[in-house]
Amino acid sequence: MLSRRREKSPRNLLWNHDLAVTRTAEKIPPLRADEAAACRQAGSNRTFSCHDTPCQIATPAKNHGGLTMTILLSYLILLFSGCSSSTYPGDHLKEALSKICREEYKIKYVDVKITDTTIGVYLPVKKLFAADFKEAMVSGKVRNLESLLEPHPEALEKVEDVLLSMSRVLLSTDRKIEFYILQAADVEKTGMQLVLSGNVDDIRRLRAWDISRDEYRKRIVHELKPNRAARWHQPVRQFFEDLNRLSLREIHKIYFGESLPAQTIRSLFFNLLPVSPDAKSGVIWNVIEMKSVPVQKNQILVYTKIKPEGTVLPPGYPQEFQYLFLMGITEDSVRILRIIPFQYLDAQHQFHKVPFPKELAIEENLEKWDEEFQIQPINLGQFLAEQLTRRAQALIGADERINNTFREIKLDFQYDQTLKPARFALNIGATLTDFNNYSHESIVFHEDMSYLLNLVTRELVNLLRNYRFDKYDFLRLKLAQDPVEWLIPKDSLELFRKNKMGLKDFFSSASRL
């Protein structure tokens, strides 16, 4: 649910993501002149008009200098052929994205996952926000929430670079990818993360001038939420980065203290660390998997799977090693307390599993442990519902009449494709300023409520039209103050969109549940 009173401006909890998205949009190049010329050779009798309201079709073209529908299709095809599907083959998308980020933008680590037609990229950053949360709260110098959540310049630049890298790859692959997710997590300070989700076709349409940059920005679904695992895992990830680049003496000093013999540290990593304390390891310790779970107050267990690379392992050595890290947590820090290997090497150089207590059931319960990066496949209906919630909230926050006639508004859109037929739902909890001054059978007929419903429903029908989305049969409207629900058929919504049905007729044709 989104509350108008809690968030009058759509930018407040936005982490000002508009800046990152808009600046990235400006870097996405339009089609070249030769691409456009090739498109124009296709010919057609329909015109594609590129306005702020996307995908308006005029038939036939009347002295318009616009592209025809056939030209549009060729236009979009050439958009892909500009880099061609062979540029980033679908089987190597993960490697391609990681390589671009690493080599062109000096971003050492991103994680990439693909599920169904959704690709997700995880970007850990040291500092997501410019302000120091604790210092700001203690000093009492917080002007407003927006200033507290202003992005750190370095984090903003990385988000832009990753978004641009994603657009390059997604516009030039032969794999069917419909949605993307960028998850930028503050792994050292707050454990908060910014999640941006978008539709790949919107990137294409932006490049083809089918939608404006402002419209493209509105189509990005954004969310700011905690990611506790990101903060818990960072010291372990840093430990293995240090293990790759520092000498054994430095590792000893930073992590273990003088009381622990160097040979004990070497045996912890099965003698793959150098014998000389000043030598650096020739092994690259790559983190494959990390999961975590709280075990008691202020203590966390972090499960880590590691793959040693860059060296030939001795005979009998496994290709992967597993460890448990016991972490201590305070308000200001997370630190490693103990490292526990899952396996040990006996005197005959044979590997055995460490016998953990049965009540821990670690391997059996790993699926339930926290991960810092998980993605679920996005479907277009749910994506549009989330986008509509934010669009409606932005409209409400900017509307003077609504601000003057309502004390509070909470609303959200939902989409349920498990129901047959599939349907959208609009849930509204709204308190009118003159709540007691109406006598209609239903609150939907109050003039101020009618104004609100007209505004929000108009946004719904226009957006669904622009996305050409028709996989629903009804809109279910539920008002918190109304004991019944309204079920509005898709045909009535289409007549409303065409201004062939007014709001009163609109609800007269709806079913009440």
Residue-wise pLDDT tens digits, 214-264: 999 999 999 999 999 999 999 999 999 999 999 999 999 999 987 789 889
| pLDDT the model gives residue 355 | 81
- C-alpha span between 415 and 221 (Å, rounded): 15
| pLDDT the model gives residue 160 | 93
Residue with tokens 């169904």: 116
| pLDDT the model gives residue 510 | 61
Q: Token pair of 24, please?
A: 């990235």
End-to-end CA distance of the chain: 22
Contact 101, 162 (CB under 8 A): yes
| pLDDT the model gives residue 72 | 33
Mean pLDDT by runs of 10 across the 513 residues of the chain is 39 49 67 50 34 32 37 37 63 95 95 97 93 60 64 92 94 95 93 95 92 93 93 96 94 88 91 91 92 93 95 91 95 92 87 80 85 95 97 96 94 93 94 69 83 96 97 93 87 93 74 62
Beta carbons within 8 Å of 275's beta carbon, 6+ residues apart: 266
Residue 192, CA distances (Å) to 107, 226, 231, 334, 494 in order: 20, 4, 9, 15, 41
DSSP annotation of 263 reads: H
Closest of 361, 358, 362, 359 to residue 324, by C-alpha: 362
Q: pTM for the whole thing?
A: 0.80
Which residue stretches of 428-489 are H helix? Answer: 447-466
Amino acid at 141: K
| pLDDT the model gives residue 39 | 42
